Structure 1
Amino acid sequence: MLQLNMNLVYTIINLIVLFLLLRHFLIKPVSDIMEKRRQMIADGLQGAQDAQSDAQKMKQEYEDALKGAKLESAAIVEKARSEAKTEYDRIVSEAGSKAGDLLEAAKENVRIEREKTMKDLQTQIAGLAMASAEKIVGDKEQNIYDQFLGEVGGTDEDTDK
């Protein structure tokens, strides 16, 4: 039935030796290269995932920093507006008080000028009254004198002329 031929035994031995040689010199190095390649690809994917994760973290940090900067700038603007409003109110108040002081000083000057004018007018009126009184008294004295001279003697009228 089955006959074992020496050729068959040599062929089997050759095949086994060939398998062992191929396994040692070809299959193992190729498997090692493929394993290294697989590991390198896995490391590359992990590195890419890590880089993407880091990029996402940095993006989030930048967005947070940007939000913080926006809030800070809004706070600075609001503070500046508040300070400007306070300064505006102070300036308006100061201007109002200065205007009030100037108004009071002007009123006082007007009052002083009015009093001075009244005194001057009283002095002028008194002077005019004195002049009028002198004129009236002088005219009356002249009339009395003329009357006296007329009564005493009419001859004086001729001497005056």
Structure 2
Amino acid sequence: MMSLGWNLVWTIINLIVLYLLMKKFLIGPVLGIMEKRKACIAKEMEEARVSREKAEELKVQYEKSLAMAKEESSQILENAKTDARQARESIVKNANDEAAKIIEAAQNTARQEQENAMQGAKKEIAQLAMQAAKKLLLEKSNENSNDMLYDKFLAKAGDADDTDSY
């Protein structure tokens, strides 16, 4: 039975040596590789978390920038509408002022022409009256000829008034 005892001892020693050799050359490097891989995964997870946070911050900044751009574009549009409204009002006011000036000038011209026509008619009537008076004095007139000259005078004066009214 002793042979069994020494075999058992040698077997146990062999197992312990095998275990120590495996631990040193197999399990140690495998565990080291696993620890390195675990650390690498943890590092990549941290980097992914940091990248995600940065992406969320950039997204928030982008949304703020987009909102500001929309607000600015609406403000620019409102300013353009206000400027256009003011320009339109200015153009209409200038056009109305110009139209009023043109109407006033036309009225002044019409009044002046009317006054000139009236003065011309007065002069012609005065000349006709002078001619009639001259004829009366030059001719020895009787009552028939006076009536006839008076009728001629009225006819000429009537013709002068008819031409002025047109």
Instruction: Give the TM-score normalised by the residue count of structure 1.
Output: 0.78
Of 22-31 and 126-135, deviating more is 126-135
Structure 2 residue aligned with 1:141:
140
Q: Which runs of 5+ in 2 are unaligned?
A: 143-166
Matches within 5 A, 1:1-161: 5-138=5-138, 140-141=139-140
Aligned-residue offset at 1:45: 2.1
**Two-structure CA RMSD over aligned residues (Å):** 2.3
String of CA shifts for 1:101-155, please: whole Å, max 9, x gaps.
22222222221111111111111111222233334444x4266xxxxxxxxxxxx
Of 102-111 and 127-136, deviating more is 127-136
Of 64-73 and 33-42, deviating more is 33-42
Q: 2:4 & 2:136 partners in 1: Cα distance?
A: 187
Aligned-residue offset at 1:78: 0.5
Aligned-residue offset at 1:54: 1.6
Stretches (4+) displaced over 6 A: 1-4
Q: 2:2 & 2:50 partners in 1: Cα distance?
A: 64
User: Identical aligned pairs, as a percentage?
Assistant: 42
Q: Which runs of 5+ in 1 are unaligned?
A: 144-161
Q: 1:98 & 1:2 partners in 2: Cα distance?
A: 137
SS in 2 for 1:141: coil
Instruction: Give the TM-score normalised by the residue count of structure 2.
Output: 0.76
**Which structure exhibits the higher relative contact order, with contacts defined as CA atoms closer than 8 Å and separated by 6 or more residues?**
2
Q: Which has the larger radius of gyration?
A: 1
Letter aligned with residue 70 of structure 1? K
Q: 2:2 & 2:65 partners in 1: Cα distance?
A: 86
String of CA shifts for 1:39-83, please: whole Å, max 9, x gaps.
212222222222222222212211111110010010011011111
Letter aligned with residue 110 of structure 1? A
SS in 2 for 1:8: helix
